[in-house]
Structure 1
Amino acid sequence: MNLFDRPQSAGAALLACAIFCLDAFTRDDLAVAGLYVLVPLIAASGGGGRRRAVLGWSTACAGLAIAGFLIFQARGAPPLAFAHLGISLVVLLVMTLLLLRTQAMSSAVERGERRYRSIFDTLASAIWEHDFTEVVDAISRLRASGVEDLRRYVVEHPEFVAEMRRLVRITDVNATGLALMGVPSKEAFHSRLSELLPETDESFADCIVALDERRSLFETETTVYTLAGSRRDIFVTFSLGPEACLDKVPGSILDVTDRKALEAQVLRTREELAEAQRSGALAAMSASIAHELNQPLSAIHSYADAARRWMARMPPDMHEAMAALTGLSQAIGHARTVMHRVRSLVGNARIRSADIDLGELLSTTVTLMRADAAETSTRLVLMRGRWRDLAVSGDRILLKQVFVNLVTNAIQAMAEVPPECRTVTVKIDVEDGATALVRVADRGPGWEDAEEKVFGSFYTTKPAGMGLGLSISRTTVERHGGSIALGRAPGGGALVEVRLPLAGAGPSVADGVGDGQVEQVAVDGLVQ
């Protein structure tokens, strides 16, 4: 490919010939060799400014200058002709160096421009290039007219904001920006910013203030409409600092339409989840109250049925009937207290604490479970061990419900076990002299799931179960400063261990009971 542009190359060649003829064949010493510096300049001005071309033209001119000097000297050149030649060659050398430096700088600028253009056109983020010069001029005129508070002025004069928006020209756009707006080519893209923004846009007022302040970074969120008329929410970032060239300000455009739609969906989902949680909490509270009232209601039914049978005898056994009615009255009071205590527990109210004889509490619990045990031919065994006066601090009703739940679960877990093997053992012991330990063991299949899952709300293995017994029991025990854990009984069944801190002076050894001996209280499980 020819390194020189033809019109400029031809002109440079003609000029070089003319200078050579004047320098070599005139009689007088006109010192025209210095004009050779014009030849590389003319050749370079036509695009022939590459390094090899500049060096070629300069070398040729230097050769012509020396050849002209030799011809002129042969014809009787004056003494100053040699000095003129030296000056011409020096000037030509300096001009060549300047041209080479200029060419190198131009090449660097061109490479930078190409690199910028490549980045601009291929960037994954949409970019629009804006010309804000007319807006800046208008702001300057407004300041000159006496307006000092520009922020207040743009708020009070929305027509000024609309006019400024129409003055902003869109000078360039990359491929991603075209795709965002659905425009096929740069030529078809909008020429003014007002064509992109809706009339109701309020973000440009802040942009005017940012231009006046020459902020290094301006960010705003607004809405644009594509060529097809669809709405897109965008986030725009400008650099308007003092070093910015305001006739070509690139704006980074981020499409946040999908993100805002997702945020709206997340917000709706969060509201729905909160509503579901409120409904679930209400359902859990209702279920827990119903669960805890189940045992007192069963006792009420048993006492009422017993009273009816004693009254139906001939003659009626009034003594037993009165005993059953007394138990009925106590069961009703117990149900009322249970409901009040469960409501306090669910509502996180303060527990009513008092010292409780743990042995007596477990004895009455086992006695209360006689009816349920009789229905399944289950033997209940209470092992008090060598300790007496085991006092714990807490709410008697709530702790009693814990052990009722544990014994009930143990009885129900042995539904598939042969009747002669159905035994529930409740054993009392002491750990470290400061903690009461109650073990409730059965001979059923044992625990199959992890402890955290078993203690979770609504976990149950029973077809008609609500799955709240163990969850409520753990909450109750923990609020009494204790803990509850699962294990495996020596016979292979399930084991639940309840630990509660002892109150008062601590335990004492029962009279007549030595180390290693236990006192057993067996409940047959059959109602006589």
Structure 2
Amino acid sequence: MYRFPRHSDDVRSVYSWIRPGVAASPALMTNEAFPWMRAELAAERAVAIGRIDDAPPEAARDVHMMRTRGARSTLVLPLVAGGEVLGCLAFVVFTTDRAWPPELIQRLRLVAEVFASALAQKDADEAIRASEALKSAILASLTSGVAVLDHSGRVVTVNASWLRFRDDPAAWAAQAEVGESYVEACRRAAGAGRAQAAEAVELVGAVLAGSLPTFTLEYSGGEPVASWYTISVVPLPDRDGGGAVVAHADTTDVKRAEIDAQRIRQELAHSARVFTMGELTASLAHELNQPLAGIRTNAQAAQRFLDATPPHYGEIRSILSDIVEDDKRAADVINRLRELMRKGEPEVARVDVNDVIRGVIKLVSSDAIIRGVDITSDLAAGPLIVLGDRVQLQQVVLNLLLNAMEAMVDGTRAQRAVVVRTRPAGRGVEVVVEDTGPGLAPGAEETIFEPFYTTKSSGMGMGLSIARSILHAHGGAIRAGSDPRRGATFHFLLPAAGVSVP
């Protein structure tokens, strides 16, 4: 009996009976040894050769091999199961010619069918064992805890990583034992006050019911030591009986790294804002000096009117109103400065992008006058609302405006102009900042956003990199373009409020 391996051209002997004195058949042959017979068997046809001299001409190669082995007659029957030729049952006579009557061939075909069914069953059993071994190996190799649920939500198997969570009471989503209902285990955790356990009960139930394709849930283990975990649940196909697979991972290290990275980004952004404020010192001093000088002049005038006989109370009242207005102007400058210098967690709220731009233009207006730069705005009618941190968005716009003004330091005064435009863009908001400077260096459209890239002798090279990080954190993007005849152009896009961020 020979087997035809699925992924090989070899023909392998799996069982043989040989009369004493006859040379043993080779345990392994190739299809090239008996090409005609192999083709006949592939077509599920029996091969009967009573005398090798009677074999058809196309069997010349096969006859040569038979003569080499000393065979004089043969009958070869295909072993077919499920429409697949699994191998063959071969009868070889070495001592004499032998006829193979149809009745004998038919009886031997029945024997071949029995062997084929047995081989098919053996293959199926081996495939199941291999599949189970593969599943076990995969489960054992996973660092995440994995539990397999049946259609009712009962835990049928878990891997070793799942069992390790038993000693971690904070990991309430991985405490279910084999044979226990996973939904009930989550329900107990909810009853014990575990955060998000009630949500897990509903979501797992929805996956088992087929109304939810999959879900991922992150939860905190709480005090005394902060820890974080993630569970992901995916359904099993109905052909496998239904159910679901629950994966549970300890994401504490990842979460702490994210928190540390966020803290570093915030500190870096704050440092960049402080550095930027240093660049605006002269213009801010000029902007503060005007209302303060007005307050001093008005106060001196009020003293003179008070010393008059009789005092000029009407003039004094008017002067006091001017002092209040100058004080408001000075306070407005200080408040804008204080807002940009604020350090702390981002405060996400509904923000009007147009309002942010107006505030930043007002902040740099004195600096623009000193530099001889004309800043104009072409803002969309009506508010453009996004969800974000106002200070961070101000920092993005401020950085782009300062970069634009610095790019024109060598230009003539008639050429120094910056335009800021806003407009709705699909489900988002687009902001465009254009200047009339020399433009960007060739190929710098991407490198300018890399950390520490700068063309200024006094710059940190972090402004645009931080701006891009801020926009990415808000679900947005930024790109740069350049035209030597018109200058550089920066476009950034933010999702409008109510649009989900991927």
Q: TM-score range by the shorter chain?
A: 0.3 to 0.5
Higher strand share: 2
The structure showing larger relative contact order (alpha-carbon pairs under 8 Å, at least 6 residues apart) is 1
TM-score (norm. length: structure 1): 0.37
TM-score (norm. length: structure 2): 0.39
Larger Rg: 1
